[in-house]
Structure formats: structure tokens, C-alpha cells
Structure 1
Amino acid sequence: MELDNVGNLDDVVLLRDTPPSTYKQVKYAVDSSTPVNEEYLTKPSKDGGASVLRKIAKAWRQLTADGNNAELVLVSNRAPDPGDELVAMRDARTGFLMPKAAAGSAASKLGRARSRWAQASGLAEAELHKLLSVLRFDLAQDMVRYQEHLRLLMALTGLRHDEQALKNGTGWVAEMVRDGRRELTLEMVQSAVDTLSLKAGPARALLSIATLKPDPMAADADHALDWVDRFDGDSAFTKRRPALPNTWSQLQADIEAAPGRLPAGTNAVSVTGSIRLAPAFLVGATFRMVTGTDLAAVQRGQLWSTTDSYDTALVPETSEHRLDQGDELAVGIAVATDLTDDVLEYLRGQNLPVSKLVAYAPPGGVAKDGSVPDSSAANALAVGIRDHLRRVARPARRMHLFLACPMGLAVLLGNRWNRLCETVIYEDIKIDEGYEPAFTIQA
């Protein structure tokens, strides 16, 4: 905090053993009357000193003089000005103005704005492009939303995340500042976690996978997959499959490569982001229980973990529907809603080589929202479904899996999908035939 010899980007610095380190300049305002725009960034200070942008440019040159990269962040509760040529190019998911800010000719409005920014920063325009490629604008930081983000981050990384835990953690940081401590080491933070009794579970690596909408946790993740622009549809409600030329097989390869992208020795992982059920199941299967990984996902504010205990496996309600079209098996997970009729129509329409459809419902037989109340129940039901399947699927060489369940249950079920047969997972695309095959896994 307020680190020496790093220029204007010194408010909060995250120093890493391996570059790039992160340098943040924090600009807090008591109201929203001053948005972040060209005037705010390029005008000289009240005493005639350098502008915000020129100070950042000078610090960037200083930090990268040795050839190392640096991550730069301007943090403010001020909102971006939607009427500003360059600031309006900011990607809300990443916080960067680039690459959109580089569009347009020199004579365009955007080009003329770049020229003014370059002159105000004291950089050549090519240098400005490089600066804007590493300068993140973390704007409109509402305190309530920021606290919600922190609590979710605490939950995902294995800490208590109740309101008192947040107060205790931030209170410790404030105490360090008041005591004049400007450097907080990893060892100090770990000691504080123990002293304040903040630990709730294992320290977890974060895996962010977004296909429906941007994941606010992506910037904090150890590895992030952003497929939002690679899925077909204009909103999170309509994004159901990859948009050509992107394919399900490419997404499967990206997800299955994720374990190798996480820190070495990782054995506890939290998955965050907005994904449909087929990718959620694949995530669970990628970190299957036999790998020894403790996998967790957020489900309606709860953390559902593969290691949460349960008393006995829950025996699902089952129903069988003969088709006699072949020797393979179709499986429907009808927990949130009953998909039986839709799946039967699809199986007949596509003439898939299946002998029957086995549909699984929660104990009691009623598929509805909230039928799986918590992580313990989800784990118990996942085991119950898997154990029953091991018996009925023994003669089949391939299964066709259809899911209508909480996302967290799809993750937990995929995590336990072993000692079965090759499985094709289908996604509900709502249009055309209703379903399409997404992934194939060996089990």
C-alpha cells in the first residue's frame, strides 16, 4: 500500500514472484457527478500538475523499463462516460478499452480522440495502444456490490463468508493501515485467517467458465474460459449452443485442458461462471472423484462441494420407457422439471439406437425447483443415481444423457460418473429438434 518507487500507480500493489505484478491507483468520489472521460483523465490537477493519464503513462514507462510486463488498474466508484469516444469502447467484462479503442482511421472521431489522449499522456500513439492494452478501468465500484463480490470470493476460496467474517477481515486490513504497515505478506494474511477463524474449508483454486454472460469472478480466477461471444444468441436466456465456426468439441477441449492450467499441486477447485448443464456435467467429469480433486460450485448462494458429507445415498424415483430402437441406453435426470416426454420425442424423431429411456426423479417422484435443498442432499442423490445406473447400464455400450437439474447437481453427478460406459451428453437447445449432442466422455 502506497509503495515507493512505482510512480502514481502505488495505492495497492500486488507483487508476484513471477511477473506481471498488479499496480492499482484508487480514485474515490463522494458522488457520481464526475464520470470517467477524456476531460477527467487528461486535465491537469488543481495545482497545475500532471493529469491522471500522464501520471499513469509515466509510471507505466518506469515499471516496464526493465522489459517486464505490468498489470495496471484504475479503480474508481466513478462511472464510465457513455458519451466519451474512447471510454465508451470499454469492455465491461475485462475493463479494457482495447482492442475496440484501436478501431477507426486517424481522421475518425475515435482516431482524433486517440491523438488527443496520446498528446495528453506524453506518448506516441503506438505507445498509447500498448498502455491501453494493459490498463484496466475498474469503474462504477458500488460498495454493496463490491462487498457481495468479496463475500463470494471468500466462499469460493474456502473462507467463511458471512457478514461478520467480512467485517473481521476488512477490520484487520484497516488495523494494519492504521499501524503504518505498508506491506502485507502472504504469511501475514495466512496468520490473520487463522487468528480470526476465517477458514471454513480447503484453500481453493478458482476456475471461471462463462458461456451465457460475463463472469464477475473471472479477474480473480486462476484460469478463466470466456466463451460468451462464441455462443449463439443475444442474451443469457438465448445462448444455448456454440455459434459456428465454434463447436462443442472445442469447448470440451478447453474444459478438459483446465486442470493443467491451474497452479501445480491443486487438489481443491471452485468453479464459477454461467454455464448450461452439459458443460457443468463435463466440468464435474473432468475433475472426477478418482482424480482426488475436491470440486465445488456455487448453487443459489450455497457452495456445493463434492466432499460434503451425507448419511446415506438417496434412492431416486425411476421410470422406464421402452423404445426398442437398439441396444444403447438413454438416461434422463428429471429433477428440476420432468423432461420425459420431450426426450422420448427426440429419441424417436432422431431414431437413436436406444432400447429404453430410464428417467430419474427426486425421492417422492416430483420434479420441481428446490427439490434438492443443499450440498449434502445433492451428493446423496448423485450417488444414488450413479449406483442405480451401474446396474441397469451394465449391458449397454453407450449412454445418452439428458439433464434437467440444478447446475450444482450436474457438477456433482459428473464428478461421480465412473465405472459406467461411454456417455453422450445432450444440451437442451429449445429450437429445431430440441436437443443436440454436446460432449462425449469415457466413463
Structure 2
Amino acid sequence: MAHLPAPGPTSVRTTGDYYQWLVAWEACLTLLRENAARSHNPVRAIGVELDGAGNLDDVVLLRDIPPNTHKQVKYAVDSATPVNEEYLTKPSVTGGPSILRKIAKTWKVLTSDGGSADLRLVTNRAADPKDGLVAHRDARTGLLMPKAAVGGARSDRAKARTRWAKEAGLTEAELIDLLSVLRFDLPLDMVWYQENLRLLMAVTGLRHDQRALEEGAGWVAKMVRDGRRELTLAVIEAGVAELNLKAGPARAVLSIATLKPDPLAPDADHAIDWVDRFDGDSDYTKRRPLSPNTWAQLQADIETAPGRLPAGTTAVSVTGSIRLAPAFLVGTTFRMVTGTDLAAVQRGRAGSQLWSTNDPFETAMAPRAIEHEIGKGGEIAVAIAVAMNPTEDVLEYLREQNLPVGKLIVLTPPSGTANDGSIPDSTAANALAVGIRDHLRRSTRKVRRMHLFLACPMGLAVLLGNRWNRLCQTVVYEDIKIDDGYEAAFTVEA
């Protein structure tokens, strides 16, 4: 395979501009979604290379109640310049002030009247893992605090703080104040960043293919070329209409993360972060809460989420990395009887899709059912076998735990095949969710308790939970892969 030639100066400049337009388009999406969701203190306008914004003028999110968000965008063509002390404190190529000094100067101006500031350095550069301060950046917030302030006068971190403060023209106390509001949004790699912007477009109710993303970024560039530096809600809505981007309702965003941080969490209306509260070193091994945290605590956090969203919310998107039992619980929390249009970001072979409970289908998809006699009592066990078939594992668990179960019902797609591609889209997922529910209403009419085991796409678990009504009490299990194989996670009254 032939290698791409090294990028020339024009290519680097053009790509850097496109990266900035992506950052500005993300800000436009935030404005659209916050205003549609009636968020508290929504963004009212987007500044692009805004006059009077100091050195952090590339993209500014303007709100009625401060702080405004000031973003400085720095694109790199390769990984030769990580974000570290040298990068932040060295003079510019023309001998001008360093990045840190420019940021500090703008911060002092923005806070001179006692106000607050929200500052962001946005770049595709990575943090230098050997840097005394940057290496300890908090991935959840993007801040170097609180660890940047740790260490006595003789520590390496204290010496680094002294050097940074001197270069910034600040006292060390002022530097700590600056680092408390300066977020390092990195590394926002171009490919990764575009993928997450497409997700943000989806939850904003817009077309979210690559072409739509490029049209949005191109529209921002045109506005700047035309001399428009402040983009209001009316201007952005006119741009969306001109580009024919509208595809559905803008949604409030509920971010739930148990496996790895959710990149959309900063844009969420409410975020539940349990990444550090789940047991395991990676998203492949994080399968249950780390003691003393419990499933009951997670259930309480999820079930109180509706009250944390903007008042009057009727359309919600759930994002993040969660396993199937929590995904099902999200669906039951926003059950169809509440009138909420609930959607889940479903990743698959065709990329990311938005699976919505309001997506239409012609007829319910009746599942294929296979029953296994257990003979231990009057309760029922159900295995949803869509992504894979867990029958043997579930049977083994039921017998070892001696649960009072009379039989196991295994439900698969009509073809009987369980694999990653058996449910191609939201229409099929909704049709199958209704088919499964209707089958279980008939099969469990006289049953007082059901034991539910899920092996399906995360989006289907959400849609199924959303329709889980007129059924018996349900104990939902999580596949933990160790010890007994499964663990009872949540109990749902249906």
C-alpha cells in the first residue's frame, strides 16, 4: 500500500481550519440542544474568532449568566509536540508570548471584575505522560487540579508550579486559581472527534452521517468568511434549515458510564459516572459494583435521573458505556407509559445509530421460543438470546442456585439465529421488543416473579425495558463471567 505524502503547509493550515470549524459546530449543537431542552442558562450565541475575547477567541459559548466558555483551538499534524511544560511555556515561533502567558493574560482580564471564567485548550495533541503537572490531568474534568496543587516546596510538582507561575506572570496562588478553571480537552483526535460530533448531531435531532457533519462545519466556515462572528439561535436554525439537516427532536442527554468515561458526558443534562465504582481494570472486566458500592445504589441513581433532567423533558437520549442490566433499567425508568420518547446510542457494524422508542414499525416481530423444564417452583426464567445464545450458562446457573423456577423460556429472533447482526436497526429492534413483551404477557400471566437474563444489543435492552409493563415482578441479572456466572442486579415492578 502506498503511503500518503507528508502534508504541505497549505494542507496543514486547511486541516487546522477545518478542526476549528468542527469545534465551532460542536458549540452550535450545544446551543441548539440546550435551547430545545429548556436547559437552565442555555448558550445564547456562539462567537467565532470573537472580538474582545482576548487570546481565547477561537470559539466562545456566550450565556446570559456567566461564566462564558472560551476555547482556544490548537491543531497538530502529528504527535511530535505533546502538551507539556515546554509546549505551554515556550515563546511562539515569532518570538511572542507563550500559550500559557496568553491564557493567563486573558484569564486576568475576564476575571478582573471578580467574575468567573471557563477556559478550554482544545487540541488533538496528547498529554505528555512524563510531565510533572499535565500527566496528572483528571480525565473526568480535563483539569490539572487537584493534583497540580499537591506537593511540598521541595517536590517536583512545586518546582514545576514555580516555573509555570513565573512564565505566566502570576503568583503561585493565582496559577492555582487559573488551573482550577482551565480545562485541557485532549487528545481530541480528528477521527474520534468527528465520530462523537456525529453522535452529538444525532441527539440534537439532526442527520448525523459524515456528509452532514462536513456540511455543518462548512456552514460555520462560510459564516466566518462572510464576516459573521456571532451566531445566534435564529442564525443557526436558519443554517440547519438551509442544509436540510433536521431529522427529529432535539433531546435531553442522560449520560451513564460504568465501563469507561462517556465522551458526551460534558454535553449531558445529567451524568451518572460509576466508572471508578465498578470492579475491574478495563471495560471488558467491569461487570459489577466494587464493594462497598451496590446494585441498589446504582438503581437509585438511575431511577432518580428523570428528576435531574430539565423540567418538561419529553425526549431523552441515553449515552455512555453500560452493561445490559443497567440499560434495561434505564428503559423501565422511562417507561412508555410516562410519555417519554427514549433513545439509545447503539454502536454496531454500520457505525453509531440512534434507536428511538418512537421509531415506527408495521407489525410486532414474534420471537422464536424454546422452553426448558426446570421443575423447581412456580417462577419463570427468561433468556433474551439475540446477540448470542446463553442457554447453557443460564441453565447451569439456575440449577446451581436452586432458584424456584419452573422453566426457562429462551427467546430469539424469528430466524432462531443469535449474533451481533441479527437486529440491524431501530425499526427491527422496536418490533422485536414489542413481540417479546407480548409473548411474555401470555406466557407469564399467572406468574408472580420472572428472572430475566439478557444477551442482546444495548439498544434493544433499553427499548425492551421501555415497554416492560403489564408483566410480573422482574429480577434482572448481569453476566459477571466469574464466580457463579450471573448476579442479580435489579428488581423491577412491572
> What TM-score do you get using the length of structure 1 for normalisation?
0.94
Pick from 367, 390, 402 the counterpart of residue 351 of structure 1.
402
AA matched with 1:273: G
Q: Please report how far the alpha carbon of residue 169 of structure 1 lies from its aligned counterpart in structure 2 after TM superposition.
A: 1.3
1:218-367 equivalences in 2 (<5 Å)? 218-299=265-346, 300=348, 301-367=352-418
Q: Flag the 1:19–1:287 CA change in 2: closer, same or farther, 3 A.
A: farther
Q: Flag the 1:345–1:32 CA change in 2: closer, same or farther, 3 A.
A: closer
Q: Does 1:118 align with 2:132?
A: no
Moved more, 147-156 or 400-409: 147-156
How many angstroms apart in 1 are the aligned matches of 2:381 and 2:367? 16
Pick from 238, 241, 259 the counterpart of residue 191 of structure 1.
238
Q: Please report how far the alpha carbon of residue 322 of structure 1 lies from its aligned counterpart in structure 2 after TM superposition.
A: 2.6
In structure 1, the partner of 2:490 is: 439
Moved more, 394-403 or 87-96: 87-96
Q: Please report how far the alpha carbon of residue 284 of structure 1 lies from its aligned counterpart in structure 2 after TM superposition.
A: 1.0
In structure 2, the partner of 1:20 is: 67
Q: Please report how far the alpha carbon of residue 120 of structure 1 lies from its aligned counterpart in structure 2 after TM superposition.
A: 2.4
In structure 2, the partner of 1:398 is: 449
Query: What is the CA RMSD across the aligned residues, in angstroms?
Result: 1.9
In structure 2, the partner of 1:425 is: 476
AA matched with 1:345: E
Q: Does 1:179 align with 2:238?
A: no
Contact kept? 1:157, 1:206, Cα under 8 Å: no
1:85-144: CA deviation from partner (whole Å, max 9, x where unpaired): 111112344322222323333322122212222232233333323322221112333333
In structure 2, the partner of 1:62 is: 109
Pick from 180, 189, 212 the counterpart of residue 142 of structure 1.
189
Moved more, 234-243 or 338-347: 338-347
In structure 2, the partner of 1:90 is: 137
1:42-99: CA deviation from partner (whole Å, max 9, x where unpaired): 2344565543223222322332344443221011233322221111112344322222
In structure 2, the partner of 1:386 is: 437
Q: Please report how far the alpha carbon of residue 327 of structure 1 lies from its aligned counterpart in structure 2 after TM superposition.
A: 2.6
In structure 1, the partner of 2:99 is: 52
In structure 1, the partner of 2:16 is: none
AA matched with 1:213: K
Q: Flag the 1:188–1:281 CA change in 2: closer, same or farther, 3 A.
A: same
How many angstroms apart in 1 are the aligned matches of 2:93 and 2:372? 77
In structure 1, the partner of 2:119 is: 72
> What TM-score do you get using the length of structure 2 for normalisation?
0.85
Tell me the secondary structure at the aligned position of residue 180 of structure 2. Answer: helix
Q: Flag the 1:81–1:386 CA change in 2: closer, same or farther, 3 A.
A: same
Contact kept? 1:6, 1:62, Cα under 8 Å: no
In structure 2, the partner of 1:99 is: 146
Moved more, 423-432 or 366-375: 366-375
Contact kept? 1:401, 1:423, Cα under 8 Å: yes
AA matched with 1:327: G
How many angstroms apart in 2 are the aligned matches of 1:71 and 1:359? 52
Contact kept? 1:157, 1:270, Cα under 8 Å: no
How many angstroms apart in 1 are the aligned matches of 2:78 and 2:394? 54
Tell me the secondary structure at the aligned position of residue 184 of structure 1. Answer: strand
Moved more, 107-116 or 137-146: 137-146
Tell me the secondary structure at the aligned position of residue 299 of structure 2. Answer: helix
Question: Unpaired runs of 5+ in structure 1?
Answer: none
Identity %: 74
Pick from 255, 263, 268 the counterpart of residue 208 of structure 1.
255
1:260-294: CA deviation from partner (whole Å, max 9, x where unpaired): 22222221122111111001111111111111111
AA matched with 1:417: W
Moved more, 117-126 or 377-386: 117-126
Tell me the secondary structure at the aligned position of residue 423 of structure 1. Answer: strand
Q: Flag the 1:144–1:19 CA change in 2: closer, same or farther, 3 A.
A: same
How many angstroms apart in 1 are the aligned matches of 2:173 and 2:83? 23
In structure 1, the partner of 2:89 is: 42
How many angstroms apart in 1 are the aligned matches of 2:284 and 2:358? 31
AA matched with 2:213: L
1:200-239: CA deviation from partner (whole Å, max 9, x where unpaired): 1111222221111122222222222221111111111111
Pick from 454, 459, 466 the counterpart of residue 415 of structure 1.
466
How many angstroms apart in 1 are the aligned matches of 2:195 and 2:374? 49
Contact kept? 1:93, 1:216, Cα under 8 Å: no
Moved more, 86-95 or 421-430: 86-95
AA matched with 2:73: V
Give the count of matched residue pairs.
443
Question: Unpaired runs of 5+ in structure 2?
Answer: 1-47
